[in-house]
Amino acid sequence: MTNDQEADASPPTMHELVRQVFREVFMTRLAETIGPVRARERAIADLRAGAVPPWDSDEIDLTIYLARERLRKEIPEPEKTGGRLYVLGFQGLRPVVKVGSTGSPERQFDKYEVQARNFGYALVDGWVSAPVGTREEAYKQESLILENLHFVLNGYLPGGRIFEWFHGHGFERIRELVKCPEVLLQQRFSRYQGDGRPRRRAEQ
């Protein structure tokens, strides 16, 4: 299945809460010293050049922290439950974008941030929608969006399967397509040639 598995989360311990407070203070001071824009530019340049974890870079750490903070603070209608769509942008030697749906955004973002870090990718961008229905309804919408995204971005569906990870594509474009599934569907149809064959990127 392509839908995200959401395990039960235990409340944080006192030690974890204290560590979180110290981290927030440190990152706030770091942001004031370096500046978010400068930190992001340097972080992405270092990641493209082959920086690997554990990151020996304040700029990378700060960029990851700020991406997570934006996701927490900008989540629409946080008091509501249900399934949400999300787009996460990661940077390593090349950009990678993760598209999915979830009923527990915080736990899912923690999971994928750690998973990507293990493969040398840092979270640098993120977007999450307001609830789009029940968890099951969100998963159905996710599946259709993933299929259409692969046809629009790659010209075909790799191996006949729906993959949630998009390599070498920009976060901003994928986010806008996920936010506007009607536009995404129109772009899918526009990729087809007169003989009904989908155009691959090399043919465009």
Mind listing the pLDDT tens digit for each residue in 24-45? 999 999 999 999 999 999 999 9
3-state helix, strand, coil in the chain (%, to 5): 55, 15, 35
- Burial category of 80 from C-beta neighbours within 10 Å (exposed 0-12, middle 13-18, buried 19 and up): exposed
Mind listing the pLDDT tens digit for each residue in 98-120? 999 999 999 999 999 999 999 99
pLDDT reported for residue 16? 86
Mean pLDDT confidence for 60-74? 95
Mind listing the pLDDT tens digit for each residue in 141-169? 999 999 999 999 988 877 777 889 999 99
